[in-house]
Amino acid sequence: MELTPQKRLQLFSGRSHPELAADIAANLGTELADANLVDFASTELRCRFGDSIRGADVFIIQSHAAPVNHAIMEQLIMIDAAKRASAKRITAVCPYYGYARQDRKAEGREPITAKLVTDLLTTAGADRIVAVDLHSNQIQGFFDGPFDHLTAVPVLIEHLRTRVEGDVTVVAADPGRIKLAERYADHLGADLSSVYKRRVKGAVNAVEALGLMGDVKGKCCVLIDEMIDTGGTICAAADLLKQSGATRIYCVASHGVLSGPAVDRLKNSVIDTLVITDTLPVPSDKRMDKLDVVSIAGVVADAIRAVFEDASVSELFGGENQI
């Protein structure tokens, strides 16, 4: 007997960011299947898929939003359930990948937690990982399987094109973001500059902006980083730009973590416009007049479609997703 198997895509979502998952499903022209996630009184979680997924190509979407540990554990449980339900292939879709900043030992006796997260996903049963704008590309090497690294740069640049004007300079928020800033500068036809910063040794979320490489006097500045957590780095950099004569400051980041004092800092900062994507939920209490949120759903949907059809993901970005 010979049978021709039919490929079947099944899309599931955890509960950290259901709005984004629904938008991704809409872009794919499909619906989210029911994962039947339940919280027990003990705070333990349970997942039981509503329909058979035997032989299916399963994509499990979960942004590692706060509480991060809860979001990661929920995704692991869903992956384990899919593996035990005989899914043919399981892809962990992590628009925001948790613990990405802990990708090396900065000091003695520290963990490399970004590696631990990939180990957990592997043990749970993930065959592939999809993530957006990692803190560093080396995280892809922590996973012994295909790791599709997406980037929000195309949608963010498209958003900026209709808004920035005049003499524009793209500014890297720190030297580690210079390559990223170069891409923005190339696409926008702008000059390039960088802020030199120093993290306060032994302190958490403490940073000093020490100097500026480049001339921003009389220019519109586009300040680039990959994420905004407490807002300390970006606000310190913006203050330095304003002191150096910048006329208008746009701040652009893929991930708006916006934890702790971030909202108050940003509201009271010299930043004129803050542009982020919706890789993480932005509740109403974190919204502000200067905030623009750009959808990443189309980018993630295109990548899922390419993976399902065994097509190239890099071609979606012209190879720029690995820079």
279 three-state secondary structure: coil
Give the per-residue pLDDT at 190: 96
Q: Which residues pair with 172 in a beta bridge?
A: 194, 224
Q: Do 116 and 199 share a domain, yes or no?
A: no
221 and 157, same structural domain? yes
Within a domain: residue 249? Answer: yes
Q: Does residue 82 surpass a pLDDT of 70?
A: yes
Q: Is the domain of 138 the same as that of 182?
A: no
Residue 34 maps to a domain: yes
Q: Are residues 168 and 111 part of one domain?
A: no
pLDDT at 242 (0 to 100):
96
CA-CA-CA-CA torsion for 132, 135, 136, 140, nearest 10 degrees?
A: -40
Query: Which residues have a Cβ under 8 Å from the Cβ of 289 and sit 6 or more positions away?
Result: none
Question: Residue 50 is part of which domain span?
Answer: 9-151+298-318
pLDDT at residue 40, rounded to an integer: 97
- Alpha carbons 168 and 220: distance in angstroms, whole number: 5
pLDDT value, residue 233: 86
pLDDT > 60? residue 283: yes
What is the DSSP-derived secondary structure letter of residue 247? S
| Order of all β-strands in the sheet with 57-61 | 9-13, 57-61, 89-94, 128-132, 147-150
Q: How many domains does the chain have?
A: 2
Let me know whether 102 and 189 are in one domain.
no
Predicted local confidence at residue 319, as pLDDT: 75
* % pLDDT > 70, the chain: 93
- Nearest alpha-carbon partner for 273 in 294, 259, 257, 299: 294
Q: Is the domain of 139 the same as that of 184? A: no
pLDDT at 206 over 80: no
Over 90: is that where the pLDDT of 197 sits?
no
Instruction: Specify if 233 maps to a domain.
Output: yes
- Look at residue 227 in the predicted model and tell me its pLDDT: 95
Shared domain check, 107 and 166: no
By C-alpha distance, which of 130, 56, 132, 65 is closest to 93?
130
Q: Can you tell me the distance from the alpha carbon of 10 to that of 87, in angstroms, rounded to the nearest whole number?
A: 9
Residue 83, domain CATH: 3.40.50.2020
The amino acid sitting at 54 is R
Q: Looking up tokens 């704008």, which residue turns up?
A: 133
Same domain, yes or no: 271 and 306: no
Question: What is the rounded average pLDDT of the residues 3-16?
Answer: 88
> Which residues contact residue 233 at a Cβ distance below 8 angstroms, ignoring those fewer than 6 apart?
173, 174, 197, 207, 209, 225
Stretch among 29-33, 137-141, 208-212 having the lowest mean pLDDT: 208-212
Task: Assign 188 a pLDDT band (cuts: 50, 70, 90).
Answer: very high
**Is 290 assigned a catalytic role?**
no
Low-confidence winner among 27-41, 110-124, 173-187, 299-313 (lowest mean pLDDT): 173-187
When pLDDT is cut at 50, 70 and 90, the band that residue 322 belongs to is low
The reply to whether 4 falls in a domain is no
Assess contact for 128 and 148: CB atoms under 8 A.
Answer: yes
| pLDDT (tens digit per residue) in 290-319 | 999 999 999 999 999 999 999 999 999 887
169 and 201 both lie in a single domain: yes
Res. 92: pLDDT tops 90: yes
Beta strands in the chain (DSSP E): 9-13, 38-39, 45-46, 57-61, 89-94, 128-132, 147-150, 168-172, 191-199, 207-213, 220-228, 248-256, 273-277, 291-294
pLDDT of residue 203: 57
Active-site option among 115, 197, 219, 242: 197
% of residues, the chain, pLDDT over 90:
86
Spell out a b/e string for 253-264, using b for 16 or more CB atoms within 10 Å of the CB, else e: bbbbbbeeebbe
pLDDT tens digits, one per residue of 111-137: 999 999 999 999 999 999 999 999 999
Evaluate if residue 1 carries a pLDDT over 80: no
Give exposure, 268-286, as e/b (b: 16+ Cβ within 10 Å).
ebebbbbbbbbbbbbeeeb
The 10 Å Cβ neighbour count of residue 136 is 13
Is residue 286 located within the same domain as residue 314? no
Q: What is the pLDDT of residue 5?
A: 66
| Per-residue pLDDT band at 176 (split at 50, 70, 90) | confident
Q: Does 209 have pLDDT greater than 80?
A: no
pLDDT at 202 over 80: no
Grade residue 95 by pLDDT with cuts at 50, 70 and 90: very high
Using alpha carbons only, what angle is made at residue 89 by residues 83 and 91, rounded to the nearest 5 degrees? 90
